[in-house]
Structure 1
Amino acid sequence: MKDVRRPAGPTPTATGTASLRSLAPVLCVLCVGLFMVWLDTTIVNVALPDIQESLGTGFTGLQWVVNIYTLTFACLMLLAGDLGDVHGHKKVFLIGIAGFTAASALCALAPNIGVLLAGRALQGASGAVIMPISLSLITSLGGTPRVRAAAVGIWSGAGSLGLAGGPLVGGLLVTHSGWASVFWINVPIGILAAFAGHRLIPARHERAARRLDIAGMLLFSAGVGSLTLGLIQVNEWGWTSPAVLALLSLAAVLVAGFAAWELRTRAPVLPLALFRDRGFTLPNLAGLVTFFGLFGVLMFLSVYFQSFAGLTAYETGLRFLPLTAATAVAAPVAGLITGRYGARLPLAGGCAVSAVGLLFLAQVRMGDGYLEYIGPFVLIGFGTTLAVTPGTIAVLSAVMENRAGMGAGAVQTSRQIGGVLGIAVLGTVVVQNFRDRLPGALTAVPADRRARLADTLSSGGRPDLTGLPDQARRAVLEPAGRALADSIQTAMAVAALCNLLAALLVLFAMDRRDGRPASPAKGGIR
């Protein structure tokens, strides 16, 4: 197997003289592309009720508006990174920007749910190109290791800001311009990014002198796709349903086949020897765990705020503002700390801070005012971003420079799978606890409507209480809201424990030298 670790000694870009200021124009283009991709991961959540009313779809259709984006995104990330390594990062990045822009216009113009889902699938595929390739381009911009660490910190902050700011931006747009505006906003941004990227991003002629591992890519994409689809459908079909078990079993078979193939092929898309390196494996694991908690917070609290707390889409976005602001503050801090001290301490610290934030959130009385959420949201936003930057730098430090696309694809795939797991596993915790608490909340509902209402509530849908007197409506919404809040807090406690365990694992098992840009990497793995 070819050497996939960065060799000892400086790389051409590591000895460059470029400063962060001189890299700013190109870095700005890359950050805009990343911001747009992460924004669309969460911006659509607050638009779902309006989409349901406008397109006349059911709750399952709404789930797929979110899930089809996640599915294509997770499946194609590693493939896109390798395509950039072989065919040129600038060219593949611009194709991704063009595809995302066109897909956004298709979503905005969708006359029915089928067209909207097709557009969202294309958005996810294009986002899977933009994200790892933009990170790969940063590694080729030049500058000292500390300059590149700072650049990765800014890049990570732009992504975290888009992810956390989605509910706020989406709420503002939906309130004033309708649901289609959450997609139209990408069109002018995408056109400007494509034009600026064509003019500013340097076209490097050095490309990986190898063939694409088509078989490995297909096995990986099919395996991740089966896993993601199975996890997405868990809350609708149940963990023991034949369809979910079949999908998860198929995923296991495909991943095993992928591993067997990668061990025998001469040019693997993901060299498995990398997983023997804790500097590669532990940052990927930490990224998975932090996004596990973050996606759960954004998803379930968005449902609670709008369906039971009586907040509008815009008010829901405002409630998440402390989380958004914390990501903006944490990004440059994380880059500076990692550039000076390496990845281990900030990565462990980010997981630990996220754990504390989630634990505090599990203690908040959800009926209380806005101020109760500020502390937990600040900690979760700061902790997640503090972990993202050093994790990214550590993974890129572990691979050869001509495999930067592969490394970027791997770290982003692990985080996306973490988000899907968060919605699936934490969603199961929420739904099961909520269903156990529902009977006592529905005693005021007529018997002929009770079963249907219970099913809607436990699935996270907007309850239909038309025809009920005000007193009966309050008798349902208030106890049901408390039951949902208690269930969400149980899930947050689970996520906090996972983040704490990840922090301890990184702190005690990760090498102090991993992800330390100022020192040469360890010997290569063959």
Structure 2
Amino acid sequence: MKHWRALIVLGTAQFLMVLDTSVMNVSISRLVDDFDTDVTAVQAVITLYALVMAAFMIIGGKCGDIFGRRRLFVAGLAVYGTGSALTAAAPTLGVLTLGWSVIEGLGAAMVLPAMAALVAESYRGPDRAVAYGVIGGLAGAGIAVGPLLGGWVTTYLTWRLVFAGEVVVVVALLGCHRMITESRRSGPRPRLDGVGATLSAAGLGLCVLGVLQSSTWGWVQPQNPPFTVLGFAPTLFVVAAGVALLSGFRAWEHRRGTRGEDPLVHLSLLGRPALRSGLLALLSQNLILLGLFFTIPLYLQVVQGFDAFQTGLRLLPVSVTMLLASAVASRVGRVAGPRRVVRAALVCLAAAIVWLLATIDPVIDDAQFAGAMALLGVGMGLLASQLGNVVQSSAGEEERSEVGGLQFTAQNLGSALGTALIGSILIGALAHAFTTQVEQVPRLSEEARRQTSIALESGINFVSTEQVHTAAEQAGLPPYQVRAVTDSYASAQLDGLKAAILATGGITLASLLVTGPLPSGRRGGPAPQTPGAAADPAGREQ
């Protein structure tokens, strides 16, 4: 039992950080009410949390090499706990953003790469596979518990209690940190590449910012941007600036490598097919999951009118089956190979998304919805059981922190893009469908169409039909036109939701294209070694 004590501490930290996002997703409506804001603002807060983690994960991994992985893990927990305390007491949305999105995000960027490296360092051979299975299972448990616990606490008490509880857990983990062991590192201590860190963080930040704001700014034709560029919306220019900075980061890292200096990350790692494929699959997994977990709660809370606890109950099937599938598939993967399991997972996800599309109606069919959620959980569980071990097994012992940084960068970049991109598609499709619906209703007067057009030009949000009904009445429209506008918006809501979910289906199918380099042999026997991968004496990939 003593051998596994460290895993309890490390796994609890993983559970805590997964719990966070799932609680926020089911609390969207309450956050909108508590802070007198809109869905788009909450979307930005959720996206920023994932973006901060994505931008600083590589830096966090490097800092683990410089200062020690256990030391960084402990320091990260302290930062994370501080952010949780501030979030619990946040009086405004700005303070919530600082506490949750920024401080907790920075803490997670310190904790997670160190955690991945410490797990890989502490366990070998079959124990390592078991350890990563436990970590994946606890992540699944966070997703399972988050919607239900967060929904219950949000509905009957307050969401703030979840973050206050996190502070207590963090204090307990800090008291147990000596259970984690770390081997002494030989050789000179590496140095942090400040220029590379700045370029990577700024590049990733601008790319996600452009995608996030696309629903407000417009992609090409300006809608409601703070400025224009040559008469065009700034979105593509912001994304292009981010890509340019990332290209500069690549060139800078190559230059440092050729000079024999410590780069922020050895980009040659991405030349390993299995590692590159695993990272892309992780990015896709989180893009799909967070895109759906942003969209589905909006359908349940805004369209169906469910509270946070009722929303959590309806998300429970995906959580339960994800946990079960992850536990079973970790054994199946040793026989069938990660490539087959990952491909089966993507097929399950695609089928679940098709099924889910069929359930998006004005009145929910609980049985059909639960079936789609259960199948979605199976697909996610199959993915979660394989990808972490594939990525870490592609690295040598000295590369654990760097690969951990890349691993969680991919995951959180996927999360940020999932919330930003799918949210942008949702709002864009909603605006287009509402415009089309209004134009096709013969009962509406030209004045009603004009007022609707003015409202759309100032920006559209995903709100309830009751709010649209009230706004139409306040605009002085006669009752029959109020009903027509409200019905048009209700129909547009469903069209927007279906477009967003359909986009996740397209990403799922496209993800099959990156699975070719994943390991295909049995893990229990000899398999081709990825360059840099460690193997136990029996020749099994670790």
TM range (shorter): 0.7 to 0.9
Q: Which of 234, 237, 248 lines up with 1:257 in the alignment? A: 248
Contact 1:278/1:511 (<8 A) preserved: no
The match for 1:413 is 409
Q: How far did 1:159 drift?
A: 1.8
The match for 1:206 is 185
Q: 1:399 to 1:483 in 2, by over 3 A?
A: same
Q: Summarize the alignment of residues 266-345 of structure 1 with structure 2, pairs less than 5 Å apart.
A: 266=260, 267-345=262-340
Contact 1:216/1:258 (<8 A) preserved: yes
Matches of 2:9 and 2:201, distance apart in 1 = 28
Q: Which of 482, 485, 497 lines up with 1:488 in the alignment? A: 497
The match for 2:69 is 89
Higher relative contact order (CA 8 A, sep 6+): 1
The match for 2:520 is 512
Q: How far did 1:500 drift?
A: 2.5
Q: Summarize the alignment of residues 116-515 of structure 1 with structure 2, pairs less than 5 Å apart.
A: 116-120=96-100, 121-143=102-124, 145-163=125-143, 165-196=145-176, 198-206=177-185, 209=188, 210-240=190-220, 241=222, 242-265=233-256, 266=260, 267-366=262-361, 367-439=363-435, 447=448, 450=452, 458-462=460-464, 464=467, 465-466=469-470, 480-506=489-515, 508-512=516-520
Q: How far did 1:273 drift?
A: 1.9
Q: Summarize the alignment of residues 103-114 of structure 1 with structure 2, pairs less than 5 Å apart.
A: 103-114=83-94
The match for 1:45 is 25
Q: How far did 1:214 drift?
A: 2.8
Contact 2:295/2:500 (<8 A) preserved: no
Structure 1 letter corresponding to 2:33: E
Matches of 1:227 and 1:407, distance apart in 2 = 22
Contact 2:27/2:159 (<8 A) preserved: yes
The match for 1:98 is 78
Q: Which of 72, 76, 81 lines up with 2:52 in the alignment? A: 72
Size of the aligned set, in residue pairs, is 502
Q: Deviations over 1:132-157 (max 9, x none)?
A: 221111111124x2221121122122
Q: Deviations over 1:374-425 (max 9, x none)?
A: 2221222221232133221121111221221211121221122222222333
Structure 2 letter corresponding to 1:259: R
Q: How far did 1:461 drift?
A: 3.4
Q: How far did 1:361 drift?
A: 1.4
SS of corresponding position for 2:254:
helix
SS of corresponding position for 1:135:
helix
Structure 1 letter corresponding to 2:200: F
Matches of 1:395 and 1:424, distance apart in 2 = 25
Select between 433-442 and 117-126 the one with higher mean Cα deviation.
433-442
Structure 1 letter corresponding to 2:366: Y
Q: How far did 1:262 drift?
A: 1.6
Q: 1:48 to 1:431 in 2, by over 3 A?
A: closer
Select between 482-491 and 148-157 the one with higher mean Cα deviation.
482-491
Q: How far did 1:194 drift?
A: 1.7
Contact 1:76/1:128 (<8 A) preserved: yes
Q: Deviations over 1:44-85 (max 9, x none)?
A: 233333333333445554333323312211111111112112
Q: Deviations over 1:482-520 (max 9, x none)?
A: 4322332233233223222323541x4445359889657
Matches of 1:141 and 1:345, distance apart in 2 = 28
Q: Quick one: percent identity of the two aligned structures?
A: 26
Contact 2:206/2:238 (<8 A) preserved: yes
Matches of 2:187 and 2:2, distance apart in 1 = 27
SS of corresponding position for 1:161:
helix
Q: 1:455 to 1:126 in 2, by over 3 A?
A: farther
Q: How far did 1:440 drift?
A: 6.6
Matches of 2:523 and 2:280, distance apart in 1 = 15
Matches of 2:523 and 2:164, distance apart in 1 = 39
SS of corresponding position for 1:233:
helix
Contact 2:86/2:99 (<8 A) preserved: yes
Matches of 1:251 and 1:516, distance apart in 2 = 43
Matches of 2:452 and 2:431, distance apart in 1 = 13
The match for 2:35 is 55
Structure 2 letter corresponding to 1:246: F
Q: How far did 1:260 drift?
A: 0.7
Q: Which of 505, 514, 529 lines up with 1:521 in the alignment? A: 529
Structure 2 letter corresponding to 1:483: A
Q: 1:218 to 1:517 in 2, by over 3 A?
A: farther
Q: Deviations over 1:296-333 (max 9, x none)?
A: 21111111211111111111111111111112112222
Matches of 1:207 and 1:461, distance apart in 2 = 58
Contact 1:146/1:518 (<8 A) preserved: no
Q: How far did 1:125 drift?
A: 0.9
Select between 417-426 and 447-456 the one with higher mean Cα deviation.
447-456
Matches of 1:124 and 1:256, distance apart in 2 = 25
Q: Deviations over 1:169-206 (max 9, x none)?
A: 2211111112322322211121112212x231114322
SS of corresponding position for 2:122:
coil
Contact 1:308/1:478 (<8 A) preserved: no
Point out where structure 2 has 5 or more consecutive residues left out of the alignment. Answer: 223-232, 534-542
Matches of 1:392 and 1:284, distance apart in 2 = 9
Structure 2 letter corresponding to 1:48: I
Matches of 1:178 and 1:335, distance apart in 2 = 37
SS of corresponding position for 1:25:
helix
Matches of 2:277 and 2:68, distance apart in 1 = 29
Structure 1 letter corresponding to 2:247: A
SS of corresponding position for 1:140:
helix
Q: How far did 1:216 drift?
A: 2.0
Contact 1:294/1:380 (<8 A) preserved: no
Select between 45-54 and 100-109 the one with higher mean Cα deviation.
45-54
Q: 1:157 to 1:471 in 2, by over 3 A?
A: farther
Structure 1 letter corresponding to 2:353: L
The match for 1:8 is none
Matches of 1:331 and 1:321, distance apart in 2 = 15
Matches of 1:524 and 1:238, distance apart in 2 = 44
Q: How far did 1:455 drift?
A: 7.2
